[in-house]
Amino acid sequence: MGELLKVNSDELRKWLKTRQIESVNELVLIPNSLEAAIAARDALAKHMYANSFMEYDVNGFLEKNRDAVSKELVNVIRQSKMSLCKQLMDMPEIDTLSADAIKTHTLGGRLIISAAKKQPNEAKLAFKWDAPKIVQQLRACGVLETVRISAAGFPSRWVYLEFYMRYQLLCHRSLANKSDLRQSCQNIAAKWITDEDKYRFGNTQIFFRAGQVAYLEQVRANLRKKYITIIQSVVRRFIWRKRFCVCSILLLVFSVMLGDIWHVKEHKQLESKEPP
């Protein structure tokens, strides 16, 4: 590989097998594992290939997906006697994380894709909304058509078992049957959704129109809150009743002991007043 690139093979092999870390006072060489060395070799090949044929400049491209090449390998390739290798390594690296638009450079031409910005009004004033203009922009972007298609179809779907396990709380125990999940799901849906056009039943799944699952989630949350409140009231009643019984018993014992002490005291006073 070194002979092909016309670079020092020992230096190339060294920086493929090791990496350099700069500490406060010194430079430390750390050996790479076999996987890291292979990754460094592949990253170098990708870097040279990309600079030879195309450039990538993607807005918001994650840093972990970038094929990073160590500075030492770049310096080794820059010392090559081949002008092409030097030219590839001297190309400036594009910061894809701060680019304003998505760009793709190819040999056949240049394609630039940028996100269109929505304007709330012609004057671009804050907190001022021009409803017809916003609707026009949404229609031009296809958002309204997407919403219409979603509302006309059945975008939400559940497997019978998953639907039953989550929403079995919404039906009475007599209407729930684990041996017949489809019938149980039909009972749950028919109880809370009166319009039969809002859902459909398939062989293995139940389909809902837009908004129906959110409605069932709201009903489920309200029932859970109701049942939790009932359970909390029963538990608190039991705890406070137990405390009241304990306090009543202690009060009774204390009153009996206090009465005995009072009677003993009165008896001693009477004995002291009697003549000898």
State the CATH number of the domain containing residue 44.
1.20.120.720
More confident residue, 142 or 229: 229
Residue 248 lies in a domain: no
- As a whole number of Å, the CA-based R_g of the chain is 39
The pLDDT of residue 55 is: 57
Output b/e per residue, 227-239; b: 16+ Cβ within 10 A: eeeeeeeeeeeee
More confident residue, 27 or 246: 246
Residue 51 lies in a domain: yes
Structure tokens at 81: 């006697």
Residue 256 lies in a domain: no
Q: Which residues contact 67 (CB under 8 A, 6 or more apart)?
A: 42, 43, 46, 47
The pLDDT of residue 92 is: 60
Residue 276 lies in a domain: no
Q: How far is CA 239 from CA 111, 230, 249, in A?
A: 72, 14, 16
The pLDDT of residue 219 is: 92
Which residue reads 């809150």 in tokens? Answer: 225
User: pLDDT at residue 101 above 60?
Assistant: no
Residue 91 lies in a domain: yes
Domain count, the chain: 1
pLDDT tens sequence across 233-269: 999 999 999 999 999 999 999 888 888 888 888 877 7
What range does the domain containing 23 cover? 2-113
User: Which phi and psi (to 5°) does residue 57 adopt?
Assistant: -145, 95
Range with lowest mean pLDDT among 46-60, 90-104, 131-145: 90-104
User: pLDDT at residue 89 above 60?
Assistant: yes
More confident residue, 6 or 239: 239
User: Which phi and psi (to 5°) does residue 102 adopt?
Assistant: -90, 120
